[in-house]
Amino acid sequence: MQTTLNHTISEVRDSKRILFIGAILLLLMIGVLRPVPTHASTAHIDLNTKGEPVSKYIYGQFIEHLGRCIYGGIGAEMLEDRKFYYPVTGEAPAWTMFTPGMRSWDGEGHPYELLTSSPWMIIGDKKAVSMVTENAYVGEHTPRIALSSGQPGGLLQERLGLVDGKDYTGRIVLAGDPQAAPIEVSLVWGIGASDRDTVVIDKIGKAYVKFPLSFTSKGTTDNGRIEIVGRGRGHFLIGAVSLMPADNILGWRSDTVDLLKQLNSPVYRWPGGNFVSGYDWKDGIGDPDRRPPRKNPAWKGIEHNDVGIHEFMDLCREINAEAYIAVNTGLGGAKAAAEEIEYTNGGTDMPMGKLRARNGHPEPWGVKWWAIGNEMYGDWQLGHMPLEEYVKKHNSVVEAMRKVDPTFKPIAVGEKGRWSIQMLTTCADHMSLISEHLYCQDRDDVIVHTSQIAAEIHRIAEAHRGYRKTLPSLAGKDIRIAQDEWNYWYGANEYGELGTRYFLQDGLGVAIGLHEFIRNSDLFFMANYAQTVNVIGAIKTTKTQAEFETTGLVLKLYRERFGKIPVEVNGDFKPLDIVAALSGDNTILTVAVVNPSEKPQSVALKLDGREFAGRGQKWLLTGPDKWAHNAPGKPRQVDIETSSIADATGRLDAVPLSVTLYWFFLR
Ligand code: AHR
């Protein structure tokens, strides 16, 4: 009986087991269960075969006057059109959904909100507001508000992001009839009569005067407003207004600056990009309230000129980065470029150095890295010209700049193929580095998607290796590459002009891209991730919050943790992408493993030349699926998790869609 029962039980067990195995196989076949890796491939790390040290500059960044990068991203100014580029008409709406062209650099047809007329609304009689050109404070015209009927009148602007308990600071430039006073400037956070904080200016006169503003919001809103109201008679003029959170850092947003500090990039390229080819740097110096607002020469928005060389240098100092400034070789030329470097690096015995001192900075900044133009090979570039002419222009610009500062490092515009070959042939004595740019779009297959950037970096490296072998102009020279724009660029413009988002799949692709720079550390001296804030950026902001994209987290992780001296990694461990490097003092081996697949992977590490000491540390970046992403003010879908390794065995398990960076202490 017992035997039969046992037999029956085991039969039942067997059939259950068969059913269970069948079910598992079925689940595996339909992809419900992810297989646990059983077979580990091997990565051989040869600690005796070392590459050139990884240049710290490959972790560079790029910021451009475009969309919501400088204004509405890093800059703390809360008001739109604070210097009245657009005439105030009282007509709404000021913001419209703009549908760009289909070209990737237009925004691939993905609509975004754009300010297309004045955001200032009129309080009181619309006809009482006119734009005067005579005695305009800044730019082409200044709003004049007539109070002849004795009724209050003025301007207001909505859509301000205000936070309960937060202090705000600002200034207003006013002129007008003394009897137009008092002028009341209010910050308003609600509809109740007491939902406002008001500064009263009792006295104004014919000449423009700046008055300080200071407020505290007692409410949180996305639609706060500022009101400027005259309560007297006659008329008054509003020259310029500014409003910023009081915790701004020299005019920059403290929350964004905090993330930039964490991003910890050693070098920032500025001010463009396409923007620079139409930029007059002299528009960006002197009193910011008097700098003219203009149409952005290359992009859709307004260039407020609130940020110029001084502000950029302040930002670099604040976030501990070196400056890399681009000069205009499109619509600009040698004279303006020479004056710009004289303004930046010249002594106060030079005219431009003297001007810089008058503008508040007697010490020269000593900027070393200068981009001589941007993408001059493209017909989209302002001032684009045939290559045969451009090579001459490049050389004349560099010569003029060298006369001012013989030590500066010019970085020439390159594009692999005909353009780079000609530049390297004709201008090799006039460059320290040559630039290349790359952008990739979305691909359906995640492995293909994540491999694109690295594949293009590889092609660029191979092309330049070829030039080094074949171009006589390069004999005895070591002109390395500044990959001063590289990124993905696709999808909806959620954060304004070119405000595309970045998903886990892009973070993984950026990590593999970094691996390729590291594998070619003998060639890539600089790389500037394009870009930084909102505009195809590694950081995204709302009016009151800022957050890292997946790509930003990856850049931050490698900058902080990846080693200095690359060592050779061999083996067939596809689909994993693995690089390794020793720390500068040879005590730590960093191994970075990207698993771009949707399956867990496993790999055994074999070290040649050293042994694991046992302890280690690991940083894991992953998320639930390839579309996982972060957004300001929302819980992170993708983040970095840190853990320690008690006993390094040399076996690495890489969870699906992940970057893992290991530190192994060595014996
Ligand atoms: O990064 C955005 C734009 O892309 C830059 O202005 C230009 O250089 C490139 O085409």
Ligand 1 pocket test: which of 105, 381, 534, 551 has the largest number of ligand atoms within 8 Å of its C-beta? 105
The pLDDT, as a whole number, for residue 504 is 98
Interval between CA 379 and ligand 1 midpoint (Å) = 13
Length of the chain: 667
Same domain, yes or no, for 296 and 168?
Answer: no
Reduce the DSSP state of residue 661 to 3 states and report it. Answer: strand
Q: How many whole angstroms separate alpha carbon 420 and alpha carbon 431?
A: 12
Same domain, yes or no, for 1 and 145?
Answer: no
User: Half-sphere exposure (CA, 13 Å, Cβ side) for 134?
Assistant: 0
Interval between CA 654 and ligand 1 midpoint (Å) = 35
Residue 72, domain CATH: 3.20.20.80
Tell me if 129 is assigned to some domain: yes
Interval between CA 2 and ligand 1 midpoint (Å) = 81
The DSSP 8-state label assigned to residue 366 in this structure reads -
Q: How many whole angstroms separate alpha carbon 228 and alpha carbon 425?
A: 60
Same domain, yes or no, for 71 and 159?
Answer: no
Same domain, yes or no, for 369 and 485?
Answer: yes
Count of domains observed in the chain: 4
Quickly list H helices, 491-592.
504-519, 550-561
Do 611 and 649 contact (CB within 8 A), yes or no?
no
Q: Angle at which helices 334-345 and 387-404 pack, to 10 degrees?
A: 30
Do 602 and 84 contact (CB within 8 A), yes or no?
no
Interval between CA 63 and ligand 1 midpoint (Å) = 10
Same domain, yes or no, for 217 and 253?
Answer: no
For tokens 């200016």, name the residue.
Answer: 201
Residue 332: both structure tokens together: 């600009």
Do 506 and 659 contact (CB within 8 A), yes or no?
no
Domain boundary (561, 586, 606) is at: 561
> Nearest residue CA, atom 6 of ligand 1?
273
Tell me if 180 is assigned to some domain: yes
Same domain, yes or no, for 640 and 573?
Answer: yes
> Nearest residue CA, atom 8 of ligand 1?
273
Question: DSSP of 444-467, one letter per residue?
Answer: SSHHHHHHHHHHHHHHHHHHHHHH
Residue 564: both structure tokens together: 């200095």
Give the residue from 451, 71, 530, 503 showing the smallest Cα distance to 274: 530
- Find the largest Cα–Cα distance for the chain: 114
Same domain, yes or no, for 46 and 61?
Answer: no
Same domain, yes or no, for 186 and 219?
Answer: yes
Tell me which amino acid residue 298 is. Answer: A
Q: Which residues of 94-126 are buried (b: 16+ CB within 10 A; e: fewer)?
A: beeebebeeeebbbbebebebbebbbbbbbbee
643 CB-contact burial (10 Å; exposed 0-12 / middle 13-18 / buried 19+): exposed
Q: What are phi and psi of 616, to 5 degrees?
A: -170, -175
Tell me if 368 is assigned to some domain: yes
**Beta pairing, strands 577-582 & 588-595:** antiparallel
The pLDDT, as a whole number, for residue 286 is 98
Domain boundary (230, 245, 260) is at: 245
Same domain, yes or no, for 160 and 128?
Answer: yes
Residue 148, domain CATH: 2.60.120.260
Domain boundary (220, 245, 270) is at: 245
> Nearest residue CA, atom 5 of ligand 1?
273
Interval between CA 388 and ligand 1 midpoint (Å) = 23
Partnered with residue 188 across adjacent β-strands are: 196, 225
**Beta pairing, strands 524-530 & 539-541:** unpaired
Same domain, yes or no, for 580 and 532?
Answer: no
The backbone region for 71, taken as left when phi is positive above 0, alpha when psi lies in -120 to 50, beta otherwise, is beta
Do 170 and 227 contact (CB within 8 A), yes or no?
no
Interval between CA 293 and ligand 1 midpoint (Å) = 22
> Nearest residue CA, atom 3 of ligand 1?
273
The pLDDT, as a whole number, for residue 157 is 98
Tell me if 96 is assigned to some domain: no
pTM of the model: 0.93
Residue 439 Cα: closest atom of ligand 1: 4
Tell me if 274 is assigned to some domain: yes
Tell me if 90 is assigned to some domain: no
Same domain, yes or no, for 63 and 159?
Answer: no
> Nearest residue CA, atom 2 of ligand 1?
273
Tell me if 93 is assigned to some domain: no
Residue 347: both structure tokens together: 């002594």
Interval between CA 273 and ligand 1 midpoint (Å) = 5
Q: Going along 111-233, which residue ranges are E strands?
A: 112-115, 121-123, 129-132, 142-146, 153-162, 167-176, 183-188, 196-201, 209-216, 221-230
10-residue averages of pLDDT along the chain (667 residues): 32 41 40 46 96 98 98 98 98 93 89 97 96 97 91 97 98 98 98 97 98 98 98 97 98 98 98 98 98 98 98 98 98 98 98 98 98 98 98 98 98 98 98 98 98 98 98 98 98 97 98 98 98 98 98 98 98 97 96 98 94 94 98 98 91 96 96
Tell me if 84 is assigned to some domain: no
The residues lining ligand 1, judged by C-beta closer than 6 Å to any ligand atom, are 64, 105, 272-274, 374-375, 485, 530-531, 536
The pLDDT, as a whole number, for residue 40 is 65
Same domain, yes or no, for 262 and 172?
Answer: no
Q: Which residues of 255-277 are buried (b: 16+ CB within 10 A; e: fewer)?
A: bbbebbeebebbbbbbbbbbbbb
Give the residue from 519, 527, 411 showing the smallest Cα distance to 57: 527
Interval between CA 533 and ligand 1 midpoint (Å) = 14
Domain hosting residue 234, numbered range = 114-245
Residue 627, domain CATH: 2.60.40.1180
The pLDDT, as a whole number, for residue 149 is 73
The pLDDT, as a whole number, for residue 13 is 39
